[in-house]
Structure 1
Amino acid sequence: MNESMSIRDQLSPEKIRKRYEQLKQQADIRARNAAAELGISEGELLAARVGTEAVRLADDTEAILKDVVSLGEVMALTRNEYCVHERKGIYENASFFQHGPMKTGLFVNPDIDLRLFMAQWKYCFAAMEPSKIGIRKSLQFFDSAGEAIHKIYLTSKSDEAAYDALVAKHRHVEQGASIVIEGASPKTVEKPDSEVDWQGFRTAWENLKDTHGFFPMLRKFKVGRVQALRKIGTDLAVEIDNNAARHVLEMARDRDCEIMVFVGNHGCIQIHTGPVKKLVEHASWYNVLDPKFNLHLDETGIAHSWVTKKPTEDGTITSVEIFDSNNELIVSFFGKRKPGVPELALWREIVANLPVKEVTHVA
């Protein structure tokens, strides 16, 4: 039995709740960090509080998400290890699609803009957590390993009665204070460089018609994203300095350039489209703190930064992509655009001013 299973066996829901309260008394600690401190997942921590600060919701994620529009304005939160993306808006225009065995979902709105990969969504909860400003109500969604995929928080403009009705409607018949945890899905194994058909891959890249074809192309050739950027050639991908993310945000602010900011995990990608104005540095975090959009980027997690160029039917699309040491995508930036509209010239100017990574030559 591995160590994490041993910890879980020793911690009853009552013990988890007690230790969580102790941690909160010692410091202003977030649930994600408290769960790590306890050696459990964030989903298990929330499940342990079912009956006190949480309600288990039915596993029909699609039905729940379709009803979120009734809450009015809320705050959407999607994060990965090193970046948190928060956007206020209304969950309108939900749509879900079945592609063979894979189900996807979309919310396409000026404010709430999401891409959902439904196979990863496992557990749903309503949380009513005490905070300095009163009870903070939310809907929270987790994968089979108990990792958070997406959260929806009420704001001062939300309809609390509609929230209570949603919770009552989708309440799970079982209100136990634990969930069954499965191991995280294994990462897709990329081929060694020597086994990749790089000429075929280059041809496929050059013939892209849409940026949405990029990930299927990687999957077809069994190539990792950073592996692809490293090998494709400097006309299509250039490694840049790791302070590029803050430079992008600062230049977008200073030049009034509307941008797109993508942050995601294996279950959800969340997108902000528009300006960025208030930039604040706090410890290792570089932040956007605007009325409708907040971004929190932990710069200590940045290991690689790239400019990429992808051909489409609307012309070349330029992006800035930021990765961690495991080659996981932390955040990516584009100029504001819509299908059928060429890329902003101002965005290309910003990208052209980003410093290229200095190559260190070993004697």
Structure 2
Amino acid sequence: MEPTTLTRPDLKERWHAYRRAHPTTRIRNAAADLGVSEADLLAADEGDGVTRLDGGWGALLQELDALGEVMALTRNDACVHEKTGVYRNVKLFESHRMGLVLDEQIDLRLFLERWRFGFAVETPWEGGQGGLRRSLQFFDAHGTAVHKVFLTRRSDVAAYDRLVAKYRYTGSEPLPPVEPRPVPEPETPDAAVDRAALLQDWAELRDTHDFFPMLKAHGVSRPQALRLAEGTFTERVEPASARQALEHAAATETPIMVFVGNPGCIQIHTGPVRRLKATPPWFNVLDPGFQLHLNEEGIASAWVVRKPTRDGTVTALELFDAGGDVIAQFFGKRKPGLPEREDWRAIVTALPRQ
């Protein structure tokens, strides 16, 4: 997103006019229509239901348990992942600017070096339910949302008010302009990659967490590695495979893991999926405590990916958009020290190959 050249009053006027004309449009889509970032729109409303927050994101995250039950939302352009629970067991690794939330319900991997802006936002509840929907929303340097925390009807509003008062921005400087998104670096030509060495290192993996360092060591992108490993560790499947995998998991009561993220946050669901509903182009999981909204039109490619580990092979279904970014990843429910579930393997085996 390019920095906006509009003054804040001008942008606020345009934003409110847009909202009157399109009352049901999500702010992310409104920002795209207006040619600005979502963070720009919130900054335009500062003082009008929006409070700017003043960094210290790690410390703030460690205090979120005081809110009680909340809904955590992490998304990218093609998928929205929502989990209801409590922010417990928050662990920070300051030297790496990373963090974890390790609760049975809210399970996050946080890349805090990407978190630049934060706001407390109050909007009317949807559907005429009355009252205000309160949230904490965090954005990267480009003004794109990385993570949001929404209060539920059971959250502690007084604790929220105290948290906002503690972390509100008290300076007088306007929000720094968002940075333009850099042009992605071109991939190394396939012919310049030592494919045999890549596959050898892949075969010697002992932990799924070693996969990204392996890609980095060989100077390849994730989609490129999957192409180069096709027929050995990877297989192309139809983009509709995600729907089929979710339907089979629901029908067989197979517990799964669903990873959805962006450069600032990865959010994980572990457990069953039950209530599925198609509202094209979206395919949805609508379970108590977990909702997933997958835009099937955004899926450019889908792959079955196998990684050796000390516990045996781990199999994933990975979805990518047209730019090569990961939309979502699906696994069978597993824990270190245990082999992969056979019912998940059966689901993956049945997926339609390309």
The alignment's TM-score, normalised by the length of structure 1, stands at 0.93
The yes-or-no answer on 1:95 pairing with 2:71 is no
- How far 1:184 moved relative to its partner? 2.3
- How far 1:283 moved relative to its partner? 2.2
Match 2:33 to one of 25, 30, 37: 37
Per the alignment, residue 276 of structure 1 pairs with: 273
Q: How does 1:1-363 map to 2 (within 5 A)?
A: 4-5=2-3, 8-9=4-5, 11-27=6-22, 28-98=24-94, 102-131=96-125, 132-133=128-129, 134-174=131-171, 178-357=175-354
- How far 1:183 moved relative to its partner? 2.1
Rounded to whole Å, the distance in 2 between the matches of 1:76 and 1:195 is 42
Rounded to whole Å, the distance in 2 between the matches of 1:204 and 1:183 is 36
Maintained 8 Å contact 1:50/1:175: no
What RMSD over aligned residues (CA atoms) do the two structures have, in Å? 1.5
- How far 1:178 moved relative to its partner? 3.6
Rounded to whole Å, the distance in 1 between the matches of 2:228 and 2:59 is 43
Tell me the secondary structure at the aligned position of residue 205 of structure 1.
helix
String of CA shifts for 1:234-286, please: whole Å, max 9, x gaps. Answer: 13100001100000100000000000000000110000001111111112000
Per the alignment, residue 361 of structure 1 pairs with: none
Maintained 8 Å contact 1:50/1:176: no
- How far 1:198 moved relative to its partner? 1.1
Maintained 8 Å contact 1:115/1:269: yes
Rounded to whole Å, the distance in 2 between the matches of 1:206 and 1:233 is 13
- How far 1:188 moved relative to its partner? 4.9
Relative to structure 1, is the Cα distance of residues 175 and 258 closer, same or farther in structure 2, using a 3 angstrom cutoff? Answer: farther
- How far 1:186 moved relative to its partner? 4.9
Instruction: Note the residue ranges of structure 1 that are not aligned, 5 or more in a row.
Output: 358-363
Instruction: Note the residue ranges of structure 2 that are not aligned, 5 or more in a row.
Output: none
The alignment's TM-score, normalised by the length of structure 2, stands at 0.95
Maintained 8 Å contact 1:51/1:175: no
String of CA shifts for 1:283-303, please: whole Å, max 9, x gaps. Answer: 200011111000000111111
Equivalenced residues, count:
350
Rounded to whole Å, the distance in 2 between the matches of 1:97 and 1:74 is 24
Runs of 4+ in 1 over 6 A off after TM superposition: none
Rounded to whole Å, the distance in 1 between the matches of 2:78 and 2:241 is 15
- How far 1:103 moved relative to its partner? 1.8
